[in-house]
């Protein structure tokens, strides 16, 4: 499935899949949310610890395919230290990127997922952790499913 992905991007994704970063539960999370992608069977839970408006700690646990785990792992790296208000903007960029392949603005390492749009079945895997984070920040505590999110 990686045939058309750039080799470097492929290596980054495989590395984060095999060695996911921040793969643990937080002791006292400010908020958390579960995400489920029934099409692929990906299940994960994100944990956030906020200091005022800033994401102080972020982690995840779960099981799923390589893309979903790598995406969650890179998400935790890229959102740590960010303000809540910035997360929506980053989410919008990542969403646009995995849907269309267009990169708008600085997405840093998350650019490795730009190739995912060529594999429509994998888009939901790549965006799952992001939906979970958005749900956690909204604070309604409801599990999210990619089936209710349009992607
Ligand atoms: Zn998946």
For residues 111-124, average pLDDT: 92
Give bridge partners of residue 23 from the DSSP assignment: 60
- Provide, for the chain, the percentages of residues in helix, strand and coil under a 3-state DSSP scheme, each rounded to the nearest 5: 50, 20, 30
User: 65 CA to middle of ligand 1, Å?
Assistant: 4
State yes or no: pLDDT of 125 exceeds 70: yes
CB 83, CB 51: distance < 8 Å: no
Mean pLDDT, the chain, integer: 91
Cα(131)–Cα(34) distance, integer angstroms: 9
For domain 2-141, give the fold: Sufe protein. Chain: A (3.90.1010)
Binned at pLDDT 50, 70 and 90, residue 24 comes out as: very high
Using a pLDDT cut of 90, give the percent of the chain over it. Answer: 79
Give the Å distance between the CA of 36 and the centre of ligand 1.
10
List residues, by chain if needed, whose CB lies under 5 Å from ion ligand 1: 40, 42, 65, 68, 125
Cα 121 to middle of ligand 1, angstroms? 8
Range from 1-10, 70-79, 84-93 carrying the lowest mean pLDDT: 1-10
Cα 70 to averaged position of ligand 1 atoms, centre (Å): 10
- Ligand 1 geometric centre to CA of 51 (Å): 31
Distance 43 CA to ligand 1 centre (A): 9
Ligand 1 center–CA 53 separation, angstroms: 31
Reduced to 3 states (helix: H, G, I; strand: E, B; else coil), residue 114 is helix
Tokens of 89: 């903007």
Q: What is the percent of the chain with per-residue pLDDT over 70, rounded to a whole number?
A: 92
Q: For residues 94 and 109, what is the distance between their CA atoms, to the nearest angstrom?
A: 11
Q: What tens digit of pLDDT does each residue of 29-72 get?
A: 999 999 999 999 999 999 999 999 999 999 999 999 999 999 99
Three-state secondary structure call for residue 61 = strand
Q: What is the mean pLDDT of residues 70-76?
A: 98
Tell me the per-residue pLDDT of 88-105, one tens digit each, with 9 for 90 and over.
Answer: 999 999 999 999 999 988
pLDDT at site 151: 56
The answer to whether the beta carbons of residues 84 and 137 sit under 8 Å apart is yes
């Amino acid at each position: 499935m990686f045939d058309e992905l750039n080799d470097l991007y492929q290596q980054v994704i495989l590395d984060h899949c095999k060695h996911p970063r921040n793969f643990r539960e937080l002791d006292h999370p400010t908020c958390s949310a579960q995400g489920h992608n029934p099409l692929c069977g990906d299940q994960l839970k994100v944990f956030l610890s906020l200091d005022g408006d800033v994401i102080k700690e972020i982690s995840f646990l779960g099981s799923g395919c390589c893309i979903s785990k790598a995406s969650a792992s890179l998400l935790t790296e890229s959102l740590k230290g960010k303000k809540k208000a910035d997360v929506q903007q980053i989410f919008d960029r990542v969403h646009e990127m995995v849907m269309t392949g267009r990169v708008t603005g600085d997405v840093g390492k998350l650019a490795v997922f730009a190739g995912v749009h060529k594999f429509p079945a994998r888009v939901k895997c790549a965006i799952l952790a992001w939906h979970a984070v958005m749900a956690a920040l909204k604070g309604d505590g409801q599990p999210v499913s990619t089936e209710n999110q349009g992607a």
